[in-house]
């Protein structure tokens, strides 16, 4: 937790060694020759009396090893006025001769011998060293809790939580989280509404820690933050609306299985860490970095429980069709997040249909009720087809396009059923609308996803929010490591 | 609680998860002591009937000596464009953003 500037290395040759390394033992005669014929400084990681009589510099704190990225011992460096010019790892006669400018080095030794792992990258120490020497690479303000404060309660009191406890984002935890991505901590990921604050990888990592993510989830969270903060997705409007929708994250591609996401039983429910925490991390970024809090800019009349976290994976392996990401233009094998502005999921039960036409009609009857049975065109939807329903379509050979085409046909609703006053209901479309019939959804406004448990003749629909330029449009983003 | 850019002594140090805009407490500008001669922005967020409310406000502010300038957002679902915000900040001493809903 100290601020540790990178200590310079002396000019000349520099060797990093440890006693507990047979290759280091092997090269002792070479080191002795280099000490005599060239300017050599030896840093020893575990015992400064090694090599005997060589006057090795004590690096048992591993400070120099860590700062100079030593991964193997022995490592030989050529340094000129503090700048590293060349480096070689292990014993490699040609390389050592090249760096030293001497010939016939270690003539009695084999030409090549690999080295051992540097103590500075030993998994047992790596994180402690990163905290000790690298914490100052993280630029966020440090907040010290008082001695009497409970760290979990303190986060509530500062307004940093969504109503559930958060994992306190210590330097150690945030550094560990940052190991989950190759992106630099200070890279700006997005400008987060409503406060329009530039959000770095580090800030996302802090909130991912708080949400309970593991480091390997971080790339998914970063992609979700990027997608949410696009003009296209319009997180500001989605946050500010009185409607109950929030960002729904649908994950496709190899990363689903790599991080153990749930796409099967209870797919929209509790119990899977990745599903539960990735969506939560996005919401915490919006809350903490963007300043988007319920009752302030978030004006939702009801909200929905998915605004804590709503994230799931598609069951691509079980699906009779291609993945949602491909429908939206992603290449096969690419991991993606799709953000959909969605309300809570609602079940469609149909335990009797064994023909696709009958099942499509069941879907249409249910989908019509989204938002209001007499309101059309303003909203998209996600239709999550469960395995037992999908089997009906698969056995009849229906493609995704056939399903959505049929749904659009079935959901072309006569104007007289929709107009204000029809059915004794004042709500509805204005009478001056000239069309004889109106579609419930715009073309492309029904998104199909395959997921859910293997028992139950059910599917689920997720209603959307206003689509188009003034609303929120489904947004795909590639997940980058 | 103490806050600094550096890690401080203390039993438990965490990294600030926020946009760091609110600590230390953000100072508000002092309220204008008078409306007389003040350049005042009225920002219509473009929700239905917001203009009715704005028209009435304009009348009332003008009666009190303020020079009212009208602005509007293209859509209430998105933040005001940067140019609109900049123009308000440059030209006006105060802004009233009104919501009709």
Q: How confident is the model at residue B18 (pLDDT cuts 50, 70, 90)?
A: very high
Q: Mind listing the pLDDT tens digit for each residue in A51-85?
A: 998 899 999 999 999 999 999 999 999 999 989 99
Angle A244-A474-A466 from CA coordinates, rounded to 5°: 45
pLDDT of residue B82: 82
Residue B64 lies in a domain: yes
Residue B74 lies in a domain: yes
pLDDT at B25 over 50: no
- Considering only CB atoms, B77 lies closest to which of A168, A202, A471, namely A471
- Number of helical H runs and strand E runs in chain A: 17, 21
Cα separation of the two ends of chain B:
40
Taking CB atoms and an 8 Å limit, are B1 and A145 in contact across chains?
yes
Residue B44 lies in a domain: yes
Concatenated DSSP letters of B15-47: E--S-S-SSSPPPPPPPPS--TT-EEEEEE---
pLDDT at B101 over 90: no
Residue B17 lies in a domain: no
pLDDT of residue B5: 38
What would the mean pLDDT of A200-212 be, rounded to a whole number?
98
Q: Mind listing the pLDDT tens digit for each residue in A359-369?
A: 999 999 999 99
CA distance A271 to A274: 9
- CB contact A188 to B (< 8 Å): no
How much helix, strand and coil, in percent to the nearest 5, is found in chain A? 35, 20, 45
Q: How confident is the model at residue A123 (pLDDT cuts 50, 70, 90)?
A: confident
User: CATH 3.40.30.10: which residues of chain A?
Assistant: 12-136
Residue B79 lies in a domain: yes
Interface list for B 28-87 with A (CB within 8 A): 75, 77-79
CATH of range A12-136; options 3.40.50.300, 3.40.1190.20, 3.40.50.920, 3.40.30.10? 3.40.30.10
Concatenated DSSP letters of A361-403: HHHHHHHTTSS-TT--SSEEEEEEE-HHHHHHHHHHT--HHHH
Task: Describe the crossing of helices A273-284 and A201-211 by its angle, rounded to 10 degrees.
Answer: 130
CA distance A62 to A473: 51
Residue B46 lies in a domain: yes
pLDDT at A23 over 90: yes
Residues 6 or more apart whose Cβ sits within 8 Å of residue A438 = A376, A377, A412, A413, A415, A418, A429
Helix (H) or strand (E) holding B12: strand B12-15
Residue B31 lies in a domain: no
Cα separation of the two ends of chain A:
27
Q: Mind listing the pLDDT tens digit for each residue in A253-300?
A: 999 999 999 999 999 999 999 999 999 999 999 999 999 999 999 999
CA distances from A289 to A133, A207, A214, A282, A337 (A): 27, 9, 20, 10, 21
Q: Mind listing the pLDDT tens digit for each residue in A464-475?
A: 999 988 899 999
Interface list for A 217-246 with B (CB within 8 A): 234, 236-237, 240-242
Q: What Rg do the C-alpha atoms of chain B give, in angstroms?
A: 19
Alpha helices in A90-122 (DSSP H): 93-100
**Residue B89's Cα: distance from chain center in Å?**
9
Q: What is the phi/psi pair of residue A442, to 5°?
A: -70, 160
CA distance A86 to A78: 5
CA distance A317 to A322: 9
Taking CB atoms and an 8 Å limit, are A144 and B5 in contact across chains?
no
pLDDT of residue A89: 97
- Considering only CB atoms, B1 lies closest to which of A146, A194, A466, namely A146
Burial of A331 (0-12, 13-18, 19+ CB in 10 A): exposed
pLDDT of residue A357: 98
Residue B8 lies in a domain: no
pLDDT at B24 over 80: no
Q: Mind listing the pLDDT tens digit for each residue in A419-465?
A: 999 999 999 999 999 999 999 999 999 999 999 999 999 999 999 99
- Residues of chain B positioned with their CB less than 8 A from the CB of A284: 17
**Is 0.90 exceeded by the ipTM?**
no
Residues 6 or more apart whose Cβ sits within 8 Å of residue A461 = A345, A346, A348, A363, A366, A367, A370, A381, A382, A383, A384
Nearest to A52 by CA among A29, A36, A69: A29
pLDDT of residue A2: 42
pLDDT of residue B3: 46
Residues 6 or more apart whose Cβ sits within 8 Å of residue A380 = A340, A441, A442, A444, A445, A446, A447, A464, A467, A474
pLDDT of residue B23: 57
Taking CB atoms and an 8 Å limit, are A291 and B101 in contact across chains?
no
How much of chain A, in percent, has pLDDT values that exceed 90? 90
pLDDT at A218 over 80: yes
Nearest to A119 by CA among A57, A59, A53: A59
pLDDT of residue A1: 39
CA distance A462 to A480: 27
Question: What mean pLDDT is reported for chain A?
Answer: 95
Nearest 10 degrees: CA dihedral of A360, A363, A365, A371?
-150
Q: Mind listing the pLDDT tens digit for each residue in A159-182?
A: 999 999 999 999 999 999 999 999
User: Hey, is B63 helix, strand or coil?
Assistant: helix
Q: What Rg do the C-alpha atoms of chain A give, in angstroms?
A: 30
Task: Describe the crossing of helices A356-367 and A387-396 by its angle, rounded to 10 degrees.
Answer: 130
pLDDT of residue A208: 98
Length, in residues, of chain A: 481
Q: How many angstroms away from the CA of A205 is the closest CA of chain B? A: 9
CA distances from A372 to A214, A233, A340, A405, B52 (A): 40, 23, 19, 22, 29
Q: Which domain holds residue B92?
A: 39-98
Helix (H) or strand (E) holding A37: helix A28-37
- CB contact B24 to A (< 8 Å): no
User: Bigger pLDDT: A217 or A377?
Assistant: A217
Domain count along chain B: 1
- CB contact A193 to B (< 8 Å): yes
Nearest to A16 by CA among B67, A6, A48, A462: A48
CA distance A300 to A238: 9
CA distance B50 to A217: 44
Lowest mean pLDDT: which of A282-296, A323-337, A375-389, B26-40? B26-40
- Residues of chain B positioned with their CB less than 8 A from the CB of A236: 77-79
């Amino acid at each position: 937790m100290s601020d540790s500037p990178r200590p310079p290395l002396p000019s000349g040759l520099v060797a990093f060694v440890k006693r507990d390394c047979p290759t280091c033992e092997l090269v002792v005669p070479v080191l002795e020759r280099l000490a005599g014929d060239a300017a050599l400084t030896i840093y020893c990681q575990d015992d400064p009396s090694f090599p005997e009589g060589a006057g090795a510099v004590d690096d048992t704190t591993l400070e120099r090893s860590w700062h100079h990225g030593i991964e193997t011992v022995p490592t030989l460096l050529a340094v000129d006025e503090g700048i590293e010019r060349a480096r070689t790892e292990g014993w490699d006669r040609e390389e050592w001769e090249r760096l030293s400018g001497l010939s016939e080095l270690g003539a009695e030794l084999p030409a090549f011998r690999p080295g051992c792992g540097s103590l500075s990258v030993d998994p047992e120490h790596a994180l402690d060293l990163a905290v000790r020497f690298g914490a100052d690479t993280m630029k966020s303000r440090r907040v010290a809790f008082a001695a009497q404060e409970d760290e979990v309660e303190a986060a509530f009191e500062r307004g940093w939580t969504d109503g559930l406890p958060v994992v306190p984002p210590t330097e150690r935890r945030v550094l560990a989280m940052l190991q989950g991505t190759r992106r630099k901590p200070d890279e700006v990921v997005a400008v987060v509404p409503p406060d329009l604050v530039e959000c770095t990888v580090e800030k996302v990592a802090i909130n991912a820690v708080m949400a309970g993510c593991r480091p390997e989830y971080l790339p998914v969270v970063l992609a979700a933050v990027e997608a949410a903060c696009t003009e296209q997705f319009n997180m500001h409007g989605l946050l500010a609306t009185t409607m109950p929708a929030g960002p729904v994250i649908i994950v496709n591609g190899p990363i689903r299985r790599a991080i153990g996401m749930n796409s099967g039983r209870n797919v929209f429910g509790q119990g899977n860490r990745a599903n539960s925490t990735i969506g939560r991390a996005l919401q915490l970024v919006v809350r903490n970095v963007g300043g988007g809090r319920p009752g302030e800019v978030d004006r939702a009349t009801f909200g929905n429980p998915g605004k804590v976290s709503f994230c799931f994976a598609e069951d691509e392996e079980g699906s009779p069709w291609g993945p949602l990401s491909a429908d939206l233009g992603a290449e096969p094998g690419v991991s993606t997040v799709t953000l959909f502005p969605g309300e809570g999921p609602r079940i469609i039960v149909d335990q009797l249909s064994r023909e696709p036409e009958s099942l499509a009609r069941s879907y249409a009857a249910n989908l019509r009720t989204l938002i209001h049975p007499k309101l059309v065109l303003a909203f998209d939807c996600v239709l999550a087809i469960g395995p037992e329903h999908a089997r009906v379509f698969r056995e009849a050979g229906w493609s995704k396009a056939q399903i959505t085409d049929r749904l659009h046909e079935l959901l072309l609703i006569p104007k007289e059923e929709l107009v204000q006053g029809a059915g004794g209901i004042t709500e509805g479309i204005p009478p001056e609308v000239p069309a004889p019939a109106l579609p419930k959804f715009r073309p492309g406004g029904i998104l199909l996803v395959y997921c859910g448990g293997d028992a139950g003749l059910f599917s689920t629909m997720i209603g959307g929010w206003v689509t188009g330029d003034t609303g929120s449009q489904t947004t795909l983003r590639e997940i980058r490591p | 609680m103490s806050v600094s850019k550096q890690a401080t002594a203390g039993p438990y140090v965490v990294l600030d998860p926020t946009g760091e805009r609110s600590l230390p407490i953000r100072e508000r500008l002092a309220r204008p002591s008078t409306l007389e001669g003040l350049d005042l922005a009225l920002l219509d967020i473009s929700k239905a009937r917001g203009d009715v409310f704005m028209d009435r406000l304009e009348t009332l502010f003008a009666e009190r000596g303020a020079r009212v300038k009208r602005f509007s957002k293209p859509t209430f679902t998105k933040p005001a464009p940067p140019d609109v915000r900049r123009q308000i900040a440059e030209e006006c001493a105060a802004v009233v953003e009104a919501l009709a809903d």
